[in-house]
């Protein structure tokens, strides 16, 4: 009897331990080695920082080793091209933006990437994309910019992607003015340009939050389809005659063909990490909070962005 | 005819050959856009502009060297060619060792794929250590004319020092070839 109880107790313990291990591994999957996390953004910017903090949180929660690596350029296309042919076993993921797999993939000449080449894992945050200027320009909303341009002032408009260049062009066209559109690498470069006075205004995706809070920068218009979280009273681009928006999200993807259990485990770990600890705090401050879109909903979002890119390109021709 | 060419002329011809190879073969194969791209009103620099300009400067330098070689320059002898070939062979061999020794060792002694062990010592160090030691020891041996134990020790110590310098303080850096496997 004593032996039976001992065996039964051991069996129960083994079962519990197995179940706990399975839960800890997330859907029975864990990586066999380190995970390469490709970051498509310049080192030191908000997106890069969020990616690295998420990596730290995932490691703290799961013990998985994550090695971040920068592959920048072409609005995330270089990162996606590098990721596309890596093994679809969960050992390689990339942090890009939905625009990379949408407009940028559709517009990039010869890039050869499309949403079906990748497995979407989770979004981490939405852009807080706004048209921003220095407050000492004296502009309070985008209407003041249009008035200044109509009065003959040459307006230098900083953007960090071809899609935003099209939106800046459409903003001018809809209001009967022409901007000098300057494309630079990354939102940080736009902010530096605006702060230094090399640009009069520019698109910023959330990096402006501290400057706006301090009164050094001003959100002139929301580039989203809805209001900005920080300054909800600011008009949207639709109010200035542009039907398109710069809605988008930071998103983790893996190569196509990732097994379902690996996809579920990675998505869950990254989503949890994006709302936890320093990562959650940073994302909340810079991007207005964590947004996790996963699974079929994310697949549909990425495909819709890719399919819809043609409309904006046609409008801006 | 070629025997009478000076080393300067050979250098210039080599630079011209490499520049033309870059401009007409490598750059077209490895870039997606031309010199200047015009995308919906915006003129942007194409992928191939930077390397083409660099190759153009290399070609110009090569042409100037061919057209105005050093008057007192020496001619190349068989020994010079042999030396160049040996250096290329040593460096090439070192790169092959760096790239493949880790995976070979894992295949021989392990059961896990090398990719999963690329951040796990000692596997992660194997290729860099052996390739680095081989490169330094062999180059020293070439210069001295004989292979000595001290050259091997120097190679080993230097490789260990470089590996530790990069690997210990920086969590996110990987030694070659581990970032590419």
Omega before B177 within 30 of 0, i.e. cis: yes
- For an interface test with A, give the residue of B34, B36, B38, B41 to mutate (most A CBs within 10 A): B41
- Closest chain B residue by Cα to residue A35: B116
Whether the complex's predicted ipTM surpasses the cut of 0.90:
no
B116 contact residues in A (CB cutoff 8 A):
31-34, 91
DSSP A170-215: HHHHHTT---EEEE-SSHHHHHHHHHHTSSSEEEESSTTHHHHHHT
Taking the Cβ of residue B180 and every Cβ of chain A, the question of whether any pair is shorter than 8 Å is answered with no
Taking the Cβ of residue B146 and every Cβ of chain A, the question of whether any pair is shorter than 8 Å is answered with no
Query: At residue A108, does pLDDT exceed 80?
Result: no
- Closest chain B residue by Cα to residue A313: B40
Average pLDDT over residues A96-110: 88
Q: Count H helices, E strands: chain B?
A: 6, 2
B119 contact residues in A (CB cutoff 8 A):
33-34, 65, 67
The shortest CB-CB distance from B116 to any of A32, A67, A68 is to A32
So what's the pLDDT on residue A120? 97
Average pLDDT over residues A138-156: 96
Going by the DSSP 8-state scheme, the letter that residue B77 receives in this structure is -
Contact A111 B116 (CB under 8 A): no
DSSP chain A: -HHHHHHHHHHHHHHHHHHHHHHHHSTT---SSPEEEEE-S-TTSHHHHHHHHHHHHHHHHH---EEEEE---GGGHHHHHHHHTS-SSSSEEEEEEHHIIIIIHHHSTT----GGGEEEEEEEEE---EEEEEGGG---SHHHHHHHHHTTPPPEEEESSHHHHHHHHHHHHHTT---EEEE-SSHHHHHHHHHHTSSSEEEESSTTHHHHHHTSEEEEEE-SSS--SS-TTSPBGGGGT-------EEEEEEETT--HHHHHHHHHHHHHHHTSHHHHHHHHHHHSSB---BHHHHHHHHHHHHHHHHHHHHHH-
Residues of chain A that touch chain B, judged by Cβ-Cβ distance less than 8 Å: 31-34, 36, 65, 67-69, 87, 91, 107-111, 162, 165-166, 169, 181, 183, 313, 316-317
Mean pLDDT of the residues in chain B: 90
| Chain B nearest C-alpha distance from A183 (Å) | 9
So what's the pLDDT on residue A66? 95
The shortest CB-CB distance from B40 to any of A110, A111, A316 is to A316
Average pLDDT over residues A155-172: 93
Query: At residue B149, does pLDDT exceed 60?
Result: yes
The shortest CB-CB distance from B32 to any of A110, A162, A165 is to A110
Name which of A191-200, B24-33, B66-75 the model is least confident about.
B66-75
Name which of A109-113, A264-268, A274-278, B47-51 the model is least confident about.
A109-113
Contact B172 A67 (CB under 8 A): yes
Query: At residue A5, does pLDDT exceed 60?
Result: no
- Closest chain B residue by Cα to residue A167: B40
| Chain A nearest C-alpha distance from B61 (Å) | 31
Q: What's the rounded Cα separation, in Å, for the pair A122 and A103?
A: 19
Residues within 8 A of A (CB atoms), B 95-124 only:
112-113, 115-120
So what's the pLDDT on residue A161? 86
So what's the pLDDT on residue A27? 64
DSSP B79-134: HHHHHHHHHHHHHHHHHHHHHHHHHHHHHHH-SS-GGGGTTSTTHHHHHHHHHHHH
So what's the pLDDT on residue A6? 45
- For an interface test with A, give the residue of B45, B115, B171, B180 to mutate (most A CBs within 10 A): B115
| Chain B nearest C-alpha distance from A109 (Å) | 7
So what's the pLDDT on residue A313? 87
Query: At residue A18, does pLDDT exceed 70?
Result: no
B129 or A161, greater pLDDT: B129
So what's the pLDDT on residue B53? 97
Buried b (16+ CB within 10 A) or exposed e, A149-178: beeeeebbbbbbbbbbbbbbbbbbeebebe
A313 or A138, greater pLDDT: A138
pLDDT band at A109 (very low <50, low <70, confident <90, very high): low
Percent of chain B with pLDDT over 70: 97
Query: At residue A192, does pLDDT exceed 70?
Result: yes
Provide CB contacts within 8 A for A11, sequence distance 6+: none
A59 contact residues in B (CB cutoff 8 A):
none
A212 or B166, greater pLDDT: A212
Percent of chain A with pLDDT over 70: 91
So what's the pLDDT on residue A7? 41
Average pLDDT over residues A184-197: 91
Contact B119 A67 (CB under 8 A): yes
Q: What's the rounded Cα separation, in Å, for the pair B160 and B129?
A: 7
Q: What's the rounded Cα separation, in Å, for the pair A190 and A181?
A: 11
Name which of A199-203, B76-80, B138-142 the model is least confident about.
B76-80
pLDDT in tens, B20-69: 999 999 999 888 778 888 776 677 788 899 999 999 999 999 999 999 87
Average pLDDT over residues B153-167: 93
Q: Label residue A315 exposed, middle or buried (CB < 10 Å: 0-12, 13-18, 19+).
A: middle
| Chain B nearest C-alpha distance from A313 (Å) | 8
A107 contact residues in B (CB cutoff 8 A):
39
- Assess contact for A71 and A82: CB atoms under 8 A: yes
What distances in angstroms separate CA B8 from CA B63, B64, B72, one per listed residue?
Answer: 11, 10, 10
A313 contact residues in B (CB cutoff 8 A):
40
- Assess contact for B179 and B166: CB atoms under 8 A: no
So what's the pLDDT on residue A90? 95
Taking the Cβ of residue B31 and every Cβ of chain A, the question of whether any pair is shorter than 8 Å is answered with no
């Amino acid at each position: 009897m004593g032996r039976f109880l001992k065996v039964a107790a051991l069996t129960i313990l083994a079962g519990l331990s197995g179940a706990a291990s399975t839960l800890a591994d997330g859907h029975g999957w864990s990586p066999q080695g380190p995970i390469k996390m490709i970051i498509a953004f310049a080192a030191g910017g908000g997106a890069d920082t969020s990616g690295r903090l998420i990596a730290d949180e995932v490691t703290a929660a799961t013990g998985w080793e994550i090695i971040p690596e920068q592959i920048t350029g072409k609005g995330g296309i270089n990162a996606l091209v590098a990721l596309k042919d890596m093994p679809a076993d969960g050992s390689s993921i990339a942090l890009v933006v939905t625009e990379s797999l949408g407009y940028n993939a559709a517009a990039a000449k010869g890039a050869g990437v499309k949403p079906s080449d990748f497995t979407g894992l989770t979004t981490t945050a939405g852009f807080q994309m706004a048209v921003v200027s220095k407050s000492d320009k004296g502009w309070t909303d985008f209407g003041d910019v249009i008035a200044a341009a109509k009065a003959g002032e040459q307006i230098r408009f900083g953007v960090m992607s071809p899609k935003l260049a099209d939106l800046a062009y459409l903003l001018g066209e809809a209001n009967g003015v022409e901007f000098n559109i300057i494309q630079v690498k990354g939102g940080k470069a736009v902010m530096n340009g605006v702060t230094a006075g090399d640009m009069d205004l520019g698109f910023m995706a959330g990096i402006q939050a501290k400057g706006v809070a301090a009164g050094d920068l001003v959100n002139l218009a929301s580039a989203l389809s809805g209001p900005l979280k920080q300054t909800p009273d600011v008009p949207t681009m639709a109010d200035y005659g542009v039907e398109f928006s710069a809605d988008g999200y930071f998103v983790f993807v893996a190569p196509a063909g990732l097994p379902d259990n690996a996809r579920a485990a990675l998505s869950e770990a990254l989503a949890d990490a994006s709302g936890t600890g320093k990562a959650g705090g940073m994302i909340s401050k810079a991007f207005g909070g964590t947004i996790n879109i996963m699974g079929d909903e994310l697949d549909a979002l990425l495909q819709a962005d890719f399919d819809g890119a043609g409309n904006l390109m046609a409008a801006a021709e | 005819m070629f025997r009478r060419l000076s080393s300067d002329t050979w250098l210039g011809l080599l630079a011209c050959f490499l520049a033309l190879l870059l401009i007409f073969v490598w750059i077209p194969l490895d870039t997606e856009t031309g010199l200047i791209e015009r995308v919906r009103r915006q003129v942007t620099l194409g992928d191939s502009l930077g390397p083409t300009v660099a190759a153009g400067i290399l070609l110009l330098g090569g042409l100037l060297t061919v057209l105005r070689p050093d008057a007192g320059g020496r001619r190349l002898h068989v020994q010079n060619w042999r030396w160049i070939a040996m250096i290329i062979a040593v460096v090439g061999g070192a790169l092959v060792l760096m790239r493949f020794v880790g995976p070979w060792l894992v295949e021989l002694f392990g059961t896990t794929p090398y990719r999963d062990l690329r951040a796990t010592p000692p596997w992660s160090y194997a290729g860099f250590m052996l390739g680095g030691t081989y490169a330094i020891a062999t180059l020293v041996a070439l210069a001295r004319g004989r292979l000595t134990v001290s050259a091997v020790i120097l190679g080993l110590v230097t490789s260990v020092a470089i590996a530790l310098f990069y690997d210990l303080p920086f969590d996110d850096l990987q030694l070659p070839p581990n970032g590419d496997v």
